Amino acid sequence: MNLDRRHFLSGSAALGSGMFFGCSPADSKSAGPVLRAEDASFETARVAFPWSTREVYLNNAGRHPCGIHAVNAAREYLEFILGGPGDGANFGEKQFHEVKELYGQLIGAKASEIALTQSTLIGENLVALGLGLHRVGLLGGKGNVVVDELHYHGGSYIYRRLQEAGLELRIIKQKDWQVTPEEYERAIDKNTKLVSLTLVSNINGYLYDAKAISDIAHANGAYVYADIVQAAGCVPVDVRAMGIDFCSASTYKWLMGMRGLGLFYVREELQGEVLKPVMYGDKQYANFEFHYFPGSPAGDEPVTYETREGAEMYEVGNVSNIAGAAQREALKYILKLGVDNILAHAKPMCDKLIAELPKLGYPCITPPGSPTPIAAFLVESPEETNAKLKKANVVAKIKWKQMRVSPSVFNMMEDVDRLLNALS
Ligand SMILES: Cc1ncc(COP(=O)(O)O)c(C=O)c1O
């Protein structure tokens, strides 16, 4: 298959003809090795992610491009809903189970500990409400949640709103752009219900000492939620070793998939009794029986249900099948490359920026020795800096007074040099 820019641009127009990106479903199985997740390599990553050939893309923490392997899988699903089973492949419960298994391998969890959601923040809401944090104050009890300034603003907002229901919110201030276990120790007490942190901060890539913080939380009877959307896929995560009770991630960042799908982990010992489901729907039961059709077995209720065990108790209705189809291949790709290798590939690029950008007037706000592929800097004039990068066809995230650079598998040191040259 010849994947060039012309094919890339004409891909969507090819929908009607059953062809995407210049290759038919049959081609995608027999085509060159770069199209298959199983053949992932850093050497072919530039080809596997065509976006990276159109601009110097260094904002993978914002949105990671999808690879051809993932888009081909999504396309097969689109062809199924367009033309029926003859032209494509359905993506259903069995395939979603594979997604859970693959994701479980990535974060050290069982498939039965993973629920499908729509996004990261759905998971954090399920934790906040499932632990009953919206009722703590109403029932006259005492209860606090501990977060810190570097927690994702959308996550902190959940507890800001629950303050209206009487929840106490403790926000630890960052010092030198990090928050240590000692600071958590000062904030946590016996009334702490939940410690909620962003395992790798979206602000500056800071990696929390999750194990030390969860030990403190657990010793006080509190649970730990981690937003891992900036960690899963680019930093080794082992939920058990890190003492994480619940965590959540969307698939459109380092999981290299699409928007509309989230993966939510609940430690099996906490399912049901500790973390109660707060929404209900047909993903939560496997078998059900009608009792009102002619000849149906008799029953007092119109329908009876057999509820499912496992994290499916947190699922409600259908999630995005197309995102699921893409995600299965994206996870295979990530696992083939290996998260350690992904990090080892990207980290030297961050190190170079951390060494060089302060000399150009961009103070670094990523703590020294930070082991993640995200580096952030202060920017005096975001507009001016943005304009310089735009001129050089370089994309980093510049917002507020922050510039965040997040290289991934397809980036090379020359990309970082382009950014540095543009700002010199
Ligand atoms: C740390 C973090 N959490 C959550 C989100 C977004 O949440 P959701 O996946 O629910 O859209 C972002 C998006 O930038 C993020 O950086």
Do residues 311 and 168 share a domain? yes
The residue contributing the CA closest to ligand 1 atom 2 is 152
User: At 285, is the secondary structure helix, strand, or coil?
Assistant: strand
291 Cα to the center of ligand 1, angstroms: 44
In the chain, what percentage of residues exceed pLDDT 70? 92
Whichever domain contains 386, its CATH number is 3.90.1150.10
Do residues 311 and 177 share a domain? yes
Do residues 101 and 214 share a domain? yes
Hey, what amino acid is at 200? Answer: V
Using a 6 Å cutoff on CB, does residue 154 contact ligand 1? Answer: yes
| pLDDT score recorded for residue 267 | 98
Tokens for 33? 């090795």
What whole-number distance in Å separates Cα of residue 313 and Cα of residue 4?
A: 45
202-234 pLDDT tens trace: 999 999 999 999 999 999 999 999 999 999 999
* Burial environment of residue 38 by CB neighbours within 10 A (0 to 12, 13 to 18, 19 or more): exposed
Whichever domain contains 119, its CATH number is 3.40.640.10
Domains identified in the chain, total number: 3
- Summarize the confidence of residues 187-211 as an average pLDDT: 98
Q: Which of 120, 148, 203 to mutate to test the pocket of ligand 1 (most atoms within 8 A of CB)?
A: 120
| pLDDT score recorded for residue 395 | 98
Smallest CA-to-CA distance from 247 within 152, 316, 317 is with: 152
Using a 6 Å cutoff on CB, does residue 124 contact ligand 1? Answer: no
User: At 339, is the secondary structure helix, strand, or coil?
Assistant: helix
Do residues 21 and 140 share a domain? no
- Summarize the confidence of residues 394-412 as an average pLDDT: 97
Confidence band (pLDDT; 50, 70, 90) for 86? confident
Do residues 109 and 56 share a domain? no
145 Cα to the center of ligand 1, angstroms: 19
Residue 33's CB: how many other CB atoms inside 10 A? Answer: 12
The residue contributing the CA closest to ligand 1 atom 16 is 202
- Summarize the confidence of residues 165-188 as an average pLDDT: 97
- Summarize the confidence of residues 244-263 as an average pLDDT: 98
What whole-number distance in Å separates Cα of residue 370 and Cα of residue 405?
A: 14
Looking at 300, 331, 362, the residue that finishes a domain is 331
Do residues 233 and 136 share a domain? yes
Do residues 266 and 211 share a domain? yes
Contact 153, 214 (CB under 8 A): no
User: At 124, is the secondary structure helix, strand, or coil?
Assistant: helix
Do residues 152 and 290 share a domain? yes
Looking at 54, 71, 88, the residue that finishes a domain is 88
What whole-number distance in Å separates Cα of residue 106 and Cα of residue 109?
A: 8
Tokens for 167? 């929840």
Using a 6 Å cutoff on CB, does residue 227 contact ligand 1? Answer: yes
Do residues 120 and 248 share a domain? yes
* Burial environment of residue 68 by CB neighbours within 10 A (0 to 12, 13 to 18, 19 or more): buried
Residues of the domain holding 352: 339-423
